[in-house]
Amino acid sequence: MNEQEAPRQLLVRARGDDSPLYTSTAGFHADTPEDFTIGLSTGDPALRLPEGVMHRLTSWNAELPPEGFTVKASLRKHVRIGRGLAQSVAQHLGPPWAVRYWDAQHGTAKFVCWGCSRLSWTQDLHGNPPHPLHMTIMAEYKWGPFRAEGFGDFMPDDPAAGLALPGDLVDDLYTWANDFDTEMNKYLAERDEDAYNARRSELESRGEELTRRVACVLRPGRTVTYASLA
């Protein structure tokens, strides 16, 4: 990966100043927390953070324990809240950004995976790319409805894919895939071309609508296209 292809760097760290978000002039070569010297507003248009996340980041940054970090219970609580916020930021920003979280309790800055939210010492926790970025949706007998290069077919709630789709959308995708299998079984048993074509038309429409719904909830940097029925 060259510097032009590398994700932008972001550090989430509470210091009590204007914003807990920092980037670095070192870009791709940013290595330590000390490299992150440029503050970013929570409302920076490059981030497009949801209003709720912006508000919680600001409150967390301003609410440093009044006694400092000398009381372990206060420190643990503050670190736990910050970790959750860093995970929310990483999930929202997706692959275009590499997000790290400064853990004041342990004095560490770990990468936050935008797909599974785990913290790791390395940016490529799951390999590169860590999760499928460009996907297709397709109904094929006894296969999962998603396809991606390097991943093959997979189900909408596969943790390795890190899609984090809403539960109702996951259910509808499963139903659509199962309905396609059912229709294939009917066709093989009945060989009724007219009835089969009518049912395929309905499945096509549902597949297109499901693809639109998936596209609306994917994280930045990820795409999905509809590839019809097999």
pLDDT tens digits along 171-205? 999 999 999 999 999 988 988 888 888 889 999 99
Give the list of residues 6+ apart from residue 202 with CB closer than 8 angstroms, or none.
Answer: none
Please state the pTM of the whole predicted model. 0.62
Q: Is 21 exposed, middle or buried (0-12, 13-18, 19+ CB in 10 A)?
A: buried
Give domain status of residue 129, yes or no. no
Rg of the chain over Cα atoms, rounded to whole angstroms, equals 22
Do 91 and 161 fall into the same domain? Answer: no
pLDDT tens digits along 10-61? 999 999 889 999 998 876 677 778 889 899 999 999 999 999 999 999 999 9
Give domain status of residue 209, yes or no. yes
Give domain status of residue 1, yes or no. no
Distance CA 172, CA 217 (A): 14
Give domain status of residue 125, yes or no. no
Q: Which range of residues forms the domain containing residue 212?
A: 134-229
Do 56 and 156 fall into the same domain? Answer: no
Give domain status of residue 127, yes or no. no
Give domain status of residue 225, yes or no. yes
